[in-house]
Amino acid sequence: MICALSGEVVKDPIVSPKSGAVFERRYIEKYVSTSGTDPINNQPLTLDELIPIKLDSAQSSSPHIVPPNPSAATSIPSLLATFQNEWDSTVLEIFTLRKNIQKLKEELSAALYRQDAAMNVAAKAIRERDEAREALEKLALSLEVKSEEEQEQEEEEEEVKKLKLKDIEIARDALFKLHKSQKVKFPYASDKFETVIQDTFEKVFGENKEEKIENVKLVCFNNEIKGVVGVNGSKVILNTLSSGTNVWDTGFESVDLVCVNNNKTIAVASKNRLKFSTSKTELKLNEDPEQASESNSEVGSITQIIAHPTLDLFIVFTQKSWFITDTQSILSKNSVAKPLSFPAIHGDGEIFAAFDGNEVKLSSLVQKDTLAVFKPAHKRLTQLSFASNGYWLLLLSVTAKLSTIQVFDLRKDIEANKLEFNYVVDSFFMDPTSSMIIVKHGNRFTSCVYQKKTRSWKNPEKIDTSEDNLQLYSTKNNVEKDGVVYLMSYHSKSDTLSTFKLVSK
C-alpha cells in the first residue's frame, strides 16, 4: 500500500473514513492535528475517526519493528529522529504545495478561460464600436451634405419669394404711371340718370358642353375681364361672356370663398385650405412656413381673399394673420392683434386697407407696416373701397337709421368729404372716373356726383331703373372708348346677366 500523502510504502497504515485513502499513521496524524480536515477532500476529520489497518499474514509474519524512542538531541538517534520529523513535515508541506498547485492550476485555467471569453467579448465590442463609429461618421457626413443642400434650396426659395415680393414694387411703379396717364373725363353733364338695357346673356351658368349647372351661389363679377364667377358645390364656374364658360372642380366638399383676378386665375377657400385654378398645389394656412420646426399654431379659417391688380398674387386673411401667396406657396405671413375685415387693395397694388373692429388701417404689402389710420363715423363699418383715381379711400358706416360715406384723401391723410344719408345704405360703388358714387338702399339706387369747383358732392338723386342688383361693368378704357358708363345685373332665377347703359335724363 502506498501512502496518499508521501507516496511511500506504508508501514503503519491507517484509513480516513471521509475519503477512503490510506496514509502512513505519522503523516496523517500530523496533518489532521494541524488542519483538522481530510487531505484528499478537505472534509472535517478528527484523529478519533481514523481507522487503523492490520497487515495481512505475510506481512504479520515479519515482526513489527517499533522504532525506539528518540533520545536527546545530542545523540545520533536523537538527530536521526529530528531528521525524520523534518522529513515528515517536508512530505506534508510538499503534499500541501502539490494540492495548492493543483487548485491554482484549476483557478488559473478558469481565469484564463474567463479572460479569453472577456477578450472575445471586448474584441467584438470594439469591432461593433468601430463599425458604429464609421456608420455614424458616414451618417453625419450625409446629413451635413443634405443639410447644405437643403440650406441652399431654402436660400433659393427665400430669394424667389423676395423677388416675387419685389415684383409688387415694380408693378406699383408701372401701375402708378399707367393710372396717371389715364385722364378719363366724366362723360355726363347731368346728375340725374336712368338705365337703358344694352345686352342680355342667357344661361350664364346653364347649359355646358358637358353638363347643366344649377343652384349656383357665391356669384361675383370682375369688370376687368368681364367675367362672372359662381359656385355649385365643389365646382367653380367662370363665364367671361366673350369666350364662354369654364368649369373647375376644386375637389373641396364645399367652397366658402371665391376670388378671380384680372388674369382669370381663380382662388377658392374651404376653411383653412386654399386652391388655385392654375395650380395643383393646395395650401393649408395652419402650417407656419417660417416656424416649421416648432409646433404648428392654428390660424383659423380663411375669412377674406383679395387679388393683386396685375400679378398672380393673393392676399388671404384669417382671424389671426394675413398672408401673401402666389399659386404655389406662401410668400409671407403677418400676425394681427385683431381680426381684419372688409379688406380692399389699392389700384397700384402695394397698399391695402382693412378694418380691425375699431379703426381702418392702411398697410403696405412690402414693408408690412401701418401707413395711416382712419376712424369710421359710426362703429358699424360695412364697406371700404379705394377710388380709381388712387387718391381717395371711401368708408361706409351705418347705424340703425343713418349711413355715412367718408372720403379720405390719402395724400394728406385727412377726411376730404362726408356724404350723410338718413337711411341705411346697403352698399356703394364708384364709376371709373371717380366722379360719381352710386349707392344701393333696399331696392333703390341713387347717385351722388362730384363737383370739382366746389370739391363737394351733390345731393343724392334717384336713378330710374327696374333693377335691384346693379354693379359696375365698365372700366376706364370702356368709358374712354364708349363715352358712357355701363352697369350690369345677374338674375340667379333665370340665370341671365344683363348690361345697362347709364344715360342722362
SS (H, E, C) 255-300: CCEEEECCCCCEEEEECCEEEECCCCCEEECCCCCCCCCCCCCCCC
Assigned domain for 423 exists = yes
Over 90: is that where the pLDDT of 417 sits?
yes
Identify whether residues 87 and 206 lie together within a single domain: no
- 422-440 CB burial, b ≥16 within 10 A, e <16: eeebbebbbbbbbbbbbbb
| Residue 116 domain-assigned (yes or no) | no
Could you tell me if residue 145 is inside a domain?
no
Residues 198 and 97 in one domain: no
Q: Are 405 and 277 in a shared domain?
A: yes
Distance CA(29)–CA(34), nearest Å, equals 8
pLDDT in tens, 78-103: 778 878 888 888 888 888 888 888 88
Domain boundary among 75, 90, 106: 106
Tell me: pLDDT of 146 over 60: no
Residues 175-186 have pLDDT tens digits of 888 888 888 999
Nearest CA to 501 out of 461, 470, 458, 457 is that of 470
Could you tell me which residues come within 8 angstroms of residue 405 by beta carbon, excluding any fewer than 6 positions away?
Answer: 394, 395, 396, 418, 419, 421, 425, 428, 437, 439
332, 344 Cβ separation under 8 angstroms: no
How many Cα neighbours within 13 Å face the side chain of 116?
6
d(CA 230, CA 194): 28
Ranges 31-45, 235-249, 294-308: which has the least confidence: 294-308
Mean pLDDT of the chain: 86
Do 92 and 236 fall into the same domain?
no
The pLDDT assigned to 56 comes to: 61
pLDDT digits (tens, 9 = 90+) for 445-488: 999 999 989 999 999 999 999 998 999 999 999 999 999 999 99
As for how many domains the chain has, the answer is 2
78: Cβ contacts below 8 Å, ≥ 6 apart: 70, 71, 72
Q: At 323, is the secondary structure helix, strand, or coil?
A: strand
82 and 199, same domain (yes or no): no
The H-or-E segment that residue 175 falls in is helix 76-181
| Whole-angstrom distance, CA of residue 419 vs CA of residue 439 | 11
Burial of residue 14, with CB atoms counted within 10 A of its CB: 0-12 exposed, 13-18 middle, 19 or more buried:
buried
Res 459: pLDDT: 92
Could you tell me if residue 29 is inside a domain? Answer: yes
In a domain, 153, yes or no: no
The fraction of the chain above a pLDDT of 90, given in percent, is 49
Same domain, 57 and 205: no
Cβ–Cβ under 8 Å, residues 332 and 318: no
Asked if 393 and 353 touch (Cβ cutoff 8 Å), the reply is: yes
Higher pLDDT, 121 or 156: 121
HEC profile of 358-416: CCEEEEECCCCCEEEEECCCCCEEEEEEECCCCCEEEEEEECCCCEEEEEEECCCCEEE
Q: What cell numbers appear for 379 in the block?
A: 362703429
Tell me which of 106, 122, 144 is where a domain ends: 106
Same domain, 67 and 203: no
**Domain match, 208 and 302 both:** yes
Alpha-carbon span 248 to 39, nearest angstrom: 104
For residues 92 and 189, membership in a common domain is answered with no
The answer to whether residue 115 sits within a structural domain is no
- Please compute the mean of the pLDDT values over residues 13-35 and round it to a whole number: 88
**The last residue of a domain, from among 106, 129, 163:** 106
- The answer for residues whose C-beta is within 8 angstroms of residue 488's C-beta and 6 or more apart is 221, 223, 470, 471, 472, 473, 497, 498, 499, 500
CA distances from 116 to 2, 126, 179, 325, 493 (A): 40, 15, 92, 69, 95
CATH for 82: 3.30.40.10
- Which residue, 307, 253, 300, 299, is CA-closest to 276? 307
To which H or E segment does residue 78 belong? helix 76-181
- Closest by CA to 412, choosing from 371, 473, 355, 467, is 371
Lowest mean pLDDT among 4-18, 381-395, 487-501: 4-18
Whole-number Cα distances in Å, 137 to 127, 257, 473 = 15, 52, 68
Residue in 441, 434, 399, 433 with CA at minimum distance from that of residue 417: 434
d(CA 237, CA 266): 10
- Same domain (yes/no): 97, 197: no
In a domain, 360, yes or no: yes
- Cα separation of 394 and 417, whole Å? 10
Provide the residue range defining the domain that includes 68.
13-106
Neighbour count for residue 202 (Cβ, 10 Å): 11
- Tell me: pLDDT of 290 over 60: no
Residue that has been written with the C-alpha cell 352698399 in this structure: 427
One domain, residues 101 and 186:
no
At 60, the amino acid letter reads S
CATH number of domain containing 409: 2.130.10.10
Task: List Cβ neighbours of 306 (8 Å cut-off, separation of 6 or more).
Answer: 259, 314, 315, 343, 344, 345, 352
C-alpha to C-alpha distance for 439 and 446, rounded to whole angstroms: 5
pLDDT at 208: 55
On whether both 85 and 196 belong to a single domain, the answer is no
pLDDT at 73 over 70: no
Residue 219 lies in a domain: yes
